[in-house]
Amino acid sequence: MKRNLICIGLCTIATVCLLGASAPLDAEQTPAEEPSLAGTLQETPEEDLTYDDALPSVDGEAQPTDAPEAPEEPEAEQTRLLFVPREQEPTVQVAEAVAGTDPMPLAEEAEKALKAAREVKREDRMTIDGEKAPADVGLEIRSGTPYVALAGMARALDDTATSSWNKSSSTLTIKTSKMTVTAKVGQLYVEANGRYLYLPAGVKLSNGSVSIPLATAAKIFDAKLNWNSSASTATLTTGSGALKSGSAYYDENSLFWLSRVIYLESGNQPLEGKMAVGNVVLNRVSSSSFPNTIVGVLSQKNQFSTYRSGKMKSANPNAESVIAAKLVLDGGVVAKTKGALWFDSAPSSWASRNRTYVATIGGHRFFK
């Protein structure tokens, strides 16, 4: 019995000695056969990794963990391909970077190469009378809408076109043998041959050029446009070189009454507020529930008292009210009040109690 106890004691002492001889693993050291997450992150550029990439996902949400699963050990000579993906654009492969190489210079080169590729493709996207459009038409897509540089487009469609830039007013003027076109940066319309064409997003300044929607440019120069939205390509065929003049296009009687009702009802409102009032009048003309002429709509009982009193006829509308009338007569429609048949400024009105509210612009509420 005593001999057995002595043997057990000796075995215990030997075990303790063996454990003491083993060096403890440093808390900050990671075994070579199990590469750390930090070591893996060095292989991936910082901008390509988000915080969530290092956390496991539970029901679609990243959750913190104290023991992330160790990824597979990378190969010693591992390489990465740097790509710059873009929807509907060709992917540009710039170079292969050996693991550990700074990717930023490669990213810069990728952006330059992609920009050059897009420039080439941009030119190829448009033809005029079967020929590739010149580069200075500046075709670009903004929120799904194709835009062009107005000056470049004018020269491409009419070789008599000249342009001048007024820096103080930020206004571009185009003159051809048939008409004059003016476009002021930020303005909600472009004036062409005495016509006023509505631009909901306004006249743009892009890459140093005054830019407007391609469809508007085609209309101004009386060119036939075929736009393929899926391929983002445009085919134009030149026409007369100028849209019909304002004096020939606008009906004098319609302009007379529409500009006056806009002035009396919304003369102190923003341009789109004035246009929205004009849209209501024209919406009524188009509706089977109202008379089919502007004068008929204005003369309805309990509708526009200023018409019946004679005040409307003798009014002298301001310039913006006349412009608003021309914009809606030329097809301009304020999107947020589209289809409205009533408007008011009173807190409680028949329309507010009986019709569907659409939107508010300035001091007016609009209803269907």
* Same domain, residue pair 238 and 262: no
* Same domain, residue pair 199 and 117: no
CATH code for the domain of 169: 3.30.457.10
Q: How many domains does the chain have?
A: 3
Residue 65 domain-assigned?
A: no
Given this model, what pLDDT does residue 86 score?
Answer: 43
Nearest to 303 by CA among 21, 294, 148: 294
* Same domain, residue pair 174 and 236: yes
Domain that holds residue 87: 78-123
Report how far residue 154's alpha carbon sits from residue 160's, in angstroms, rounded to the nearest whole number. Answer: 9
Q: Which of 64, 95, 123 lies at the terminal end of a domain, its last residue?
A: 123
Identify whether the C-beta of residue 214 lies closer than 8 Å to the C-beta of residue 225: yes
Nearest to 188 by CA among 332, 366, 318: 332
Identify whether the C-beta of residue 134 lies closer than 8 Å to the C-beta of residue 145: no
Report how far residue 330's alpha carbon sits from residue 124's, in angstroms, rounded to the nearest whole number. Answer: 32
Report how far residue 11's alpha carbon sits from residue 3's, in angstroms, rounded to the nearest whole number. Answer: 13
Given this model, what pLDDT does residue 33 score?
Answer: 42
Q: Which of 226, 244, 262 lies at the terminal end of a domain, its last residue?
A: 244
* Same domain, residue pair 304 and 359: yes
Residue 152 domain-assigned?
A: yes
Residue 330 domain-assigned?
A: yes
Indicate the pairing of strand 195-198 with strand 189-192. Answer: antiparallel
* Same domain, residue pair 188 and 214: yes
Identify whether the C-beta of residue 204 lies closer than 8 Å to the C-beta of residue 148: no
* Same domain, residue pair 233 and 256: no
Report H helices in the chain: 2-21, 37-41, 104-124, 150-157, 214-220, 246-249, 252-266, 271-286, 294-298, 305-309, 311-314, 319-329, 350-354
Note down pLDDT in tens along the chain; length 368 residues. Answer: 445 544 455 455 545 444 444 444 343 444 444 433 333 334 444 444 443 443 344 344 444 444 444 445 444 444 333 333 444 444 444 444 444 556 666 677 766 665 554 544 455 789 999 999 999 999 999 999 999 999 999 999 999 999 999 999 999 999 999 999 999 999 999 999 999 999 999 999 998 999 999 999 999 999 999 999 999 999 999 999 999 999 999 999 999 999 999 999 999 999 999 999 999 999 999 999 999 999 999 999 989 999 999 999 999 999 999 999 999 999 999 999 999 999 998 878 899 999 999 999 999 999 99
CATH code for the domain of 262: 1.10.10.2520
Given this model, what pLDDT does residue 347 score?
Answer: 79
Residue 17 domain-assigned?
A: no
Residue 275 domain-assigned?
A: yes
* Same domain, residue pair 214 and 160: yes
**C-alpha separations of 301 from 99, 162, 296 in Å:** 81, 52, 10
Given this model, what pLDDT does residue 18 score?
Answer: 43
Given this model, what pLDDT does residue 109 score?
Answer: 72
* Same domain, residue pair 240 and 270: no
Across the beta sheet with 364-367, what order do the strands follow?
342-344, 364-367, 357-361
* Same domain, residue pair 130 and 110: no
* Same domain, residue pair 260 and 199: no
* Same domain, residue pair 174 and 114: no
